[in-house]
């Protein structure tokens, strides 16, 4: 009986903090269980009531405190769209933060090259997630712009 309450992964929090990870986990789980058609908009792949019910149970189990707003929803595709409308605001959250971090990133602030590279990779992946790509020129320009004036020869 204890297995009924065991979650496959962390539930979606009301604060949206884990939405991106949660969506990836749900999609991967649906792919492994062959339940993706229930949340996708594909007319040529109809699913039965059992699959819909299975998806709804799974989604409700993995939402923090099963918010009452969603308890009346019976169609997993409509439920998924409601969740996307409510929680899918990553660009609003991550993009300003990533831009700020990128603009204030300075090579001299790090004790090692590994720490600097780690920070650059994190910022770059956030920007890529928000559909903004950094080119190699952008990366080099950022490093060069943090050098002091005495090291201008290194820039060139």
pLDDT tens across 139-155, in order? Answer: 888 777 766 666 556 55
For residue 100, the SS3 value is helix
pLDDT tens across 16-45, in order? Answer: 677 778 888 888 888 887 777 777 765 556
Question: How far is the C-alpha of 8 from the C-alpha of 3, rounded, in Å?
Answer: 10
Instruction: Report the mean per-residue pLDDT for the chain.
Output: 76
Sort 29 into a burial class: Cβ within 10 Å, 0-12 / 13-18 / 19+.
middle
pLDDT tens across 92-121, in order? Answer: 778 888 889 988 888 778 888 889 888 988
Share of the chain above pLDDT 70, in %: 76
Model confidence pTM above 0.75: no
CB 26 within 8 A of CB 38: no
Count the helices and strands in the chain (H runs, E runs): 7, 0
pLDDT score at 13:
75
- Report which of residues 90 and 52 the model is more confident about: 52
Q: What angle do the packed helices 90-103 and 113-129 form, to 10 degrees? A: 150
């Amino acid at each position: 009986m204890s297995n009924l309450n065991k979650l496959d992964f962390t539930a979606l929090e009301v604060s949206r903090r884990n939405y991106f990870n949660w969506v990836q986990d749900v999609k991967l789980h649906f792919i492994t269980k062959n339940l993706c058609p229930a949340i996708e908009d594909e007319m040529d792949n109809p699913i039965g009531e059992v699959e819909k019910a299975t998806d709804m149970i799974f989604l409700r189990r993995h939402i923090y405190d099963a918010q009452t707003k969603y308890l009346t929803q019976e169609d997993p595709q409509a439920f998924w769209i409601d969740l996307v409308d409510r929680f899918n605001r990553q660009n609003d959250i991550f993009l300003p933060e990533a831009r700020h971090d990128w603009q204030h990133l300075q090579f001299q602030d790090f004790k090692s090259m590994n720490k600097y590279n780690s920070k650059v990779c994190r910022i770059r992946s956030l920007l890529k997630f928000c559909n903004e790509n950094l080119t190699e020129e952008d990366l080099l320009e950022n490093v060069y712009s943090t050098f002091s004036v005495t090291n201008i020869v290194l820039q060139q």
